[in-house]
Chain A
């Protein structure tokens, strides 16, 4: 990676072993790190920021794969089961796909974020401690309390990387999980032009067809009003926050804002 050379300006090896991975997985992270005003040492010695970047980058890479994999799997299963049931009489695979995407992204991202928080906090703390000490930075210069502040200020950012990764991977997961449901709808439309009817789901129990009128699925698919439940997944608080704009670019970002900006940056 182009950025690996920057990391040679400080010692990143653990226990002096050679051949340690010194690459940076998330080079852009550096632009979104928060350095609290109560820690002036980072203004005085900007090179220390690289150590922080490296420690957080390493913490993320340490935990991201299993967390993302688990979150995507669970979110994919839950979304598949509920969407297949709710869209049993919906002929339009595009509506189904859209709803499934909104739900699976929200579920996988939320699960990934909540699951990664504590492991990230521990791992970031550990790596910061180790890397500062390996680079000869004393506890007087950066005491334990400063590490605590660094971690608290940047934890949300680290979680957002994991969250974003899960949300993205979840799309492919659900598209695969629902592929034959999409295909069946298209084929059915092309062949018959009759209202769609997922026999396996709709006749799995007596309930779907005996529900009170107001709650029952209707032939010919869902009303726009009904689809709002799925659109609401995109309106959960965290995601709304990303839509805010920043009027005053020069004002130091609050943690939440930095996270939002970073998330936007990842999307672009």
Chain B
């Protein structure tokens, strides 16, 4: 295990430092064991989700230790009955700590495909399907999107293949229209990653309905951006359009329906310090102007 906290300045009372490392490891093992016990789980979830960055191989340990993955799924489904009656901040925080550990498993190269093979991402979809705007729900959706985001981050076509067999695109599209700015950003990041994959681009451009669904949401986002400036979202939107323009049929359609604010100077102020995105937009417009 990679333990980063044997720094004598931040840990002045630990001597010799190796003992501190050893004690810390033992503490983490105990917390991991505690995840499988109903009565100790909540505390262990909180502690481990805080420490998760410090341990490089936390994900394989979570996966391969007895019962931990099953315990984490238990945490997920225990929240389902609350989705229709209201979610307390306490319940939301607790399940989000469990989701943070699942995000570890989704990010790690050694466990990602195991996580996919077990279809565990699908247990998060009921969370993405909620519409309540209260904080506990926003936080739950954002954290769940984070798990999917961690899956797509590494440009793995197995991940894209899996996601295309599920209803993730409509779920992301709805969040892109109605979510908080942060949720929108993660949702469009996922759609962008799907588009960047050849299979994903083909899938979305395969029928007019799919293209239209994505195009409509992107165009609505552009409209929203005129009043609520977000450079972060604008970057993703432009990249999505640019990628769509790689497909000949989508390019043809975009010639008609690219939102006007992307053609005129509406966003030039917002983009003035972002040369890369400006170049993307210029390329997009060139792609659409050629015949």
Measured CB to CB, the residues of A under 8 A from B are 74, 77-78, 81-82, 85-86, 103, 106-107, 110-111, 113-115, 117, 205, 207-208, 211-212, 214-217, 222, 226, 228-230, 232-233, 235-238
A81 touches B36 (CB 8 A): no
A208 touches B118 (CB 8 A): no
- Say yes or no: A106-B114 contact (C-beta < 8 A), given A78-B123, A207-B61, A229-B70: no
B77 touches A86 (CB 8 A): no
Q: Which A residues are CB-close (under 8 A) to B57?
A: 207
B65 touches A236 (CB 8 A): no
- Say yes or no: A86-B66 contact (C-beta < 8 A), given A237-B78, A238-B81: yes
Instruction: Determine how close the nearest CB of chain B comes to the CB of A125; give it in whole angstroms.
Output: 15
B126 touches A115 (CB 8 A): yes
Instruction: Determine how close the nearest CB of chain A comes to the CB of B82; give it in whole angstroms.
Output: 9
A229 touches B33 (CB 8 A): no
A207 touches B77 (CB 8 A): no
B265 at the interface (CB under 8 A from A): no
B9 at the interface (CB under 8 A from A): no
Neighbour of B77 across the interface among A77, A85, A106, A222, CB < 8 A: A106
Instruction: Determine how close the nearest CB of chain A comes to the CB of B187; give it in whole angstroms.
Output: 20
A232 touches B74 (CB 8 A): yes
Instruction: Determine how close the nearest CB of chain B comes to the CB of A236; give it in whole angstroms.
Output: 6
Neighbour of B69 across the interface among A82, A233, A235, A238, CB < 8 A: A82
A86 to B118, CA, bound (A): 13
A14 to B78, CA, bound (A): 39
**By DSSP majority rule, is chain A's interface helix, strand, loop, or mixed?**
helix
Q: Which A residues are CB-close (under 8 A) to B118?
A: 77-78, 81-82
**By DSSP majority rule, is chain B's interface helix, strand, loop, or mixed?**
helix
22 CB contacts below 8 A, A to B, read: A77-B117, A77-B118, A85-B63, A86-B66, A107-B123, A113-B80, A114-B83, A114-B126, A205-B60, A207-B63, A207-B64, A211-B64, A212-B61, A214-B30, A215-B29, A215-B32, A226-B67, A228-B36, A229-B36, A232-B38, A232-B74, A236-B78
A85 to B37, CA, bound (A): 19
B269 at the interface (CB under 8 A from A): no
Number of residues in B with C-beta < 8 Å to the partner? 36
Measured CB to CB, the residues of B under 8 A from A are 25, 29-30, 32-33, 36-38, 57, 60-61, 63-67, 69-71, 73-74, 77-78, 80-81, 83-84, 110, 114, 117-120, 122-123, 126
- Say yes or no: A107-B73 contact (C-beta < 8 A), given A78-B119, A217-B66: yes
Residue of B nearest to A99 (CB): B70
Q: Which B residues are CB-close (under 8 A) to A229?
A: 36, 66-67, 70-71, 74
Q: Which B residues are CB-close (under 8 A) to A115?
A: 126
A78 to B60, CA, bound (A): 17
Q: Which A residues are CB-close (under 8 A) to B83?
A: 114
A106 to B74, CA, bound (A): 9
A214 to B77, CA, bound (A): 27
B70 touches A110 (CB 8 A): no
B29 touches A81 (CB 8 A): no
A78 to B114, CA, bound (A): 10
A237 touches B77 (CB 8 A): no
Instruction: Determine how close the nearest CB of chain B comes to the CB of A100; give it in whole angstroms.
Output: 11
The 3 A-B pairs of least Cβ separation, nearest first, read A81-B118, A229-B67, A215-B65
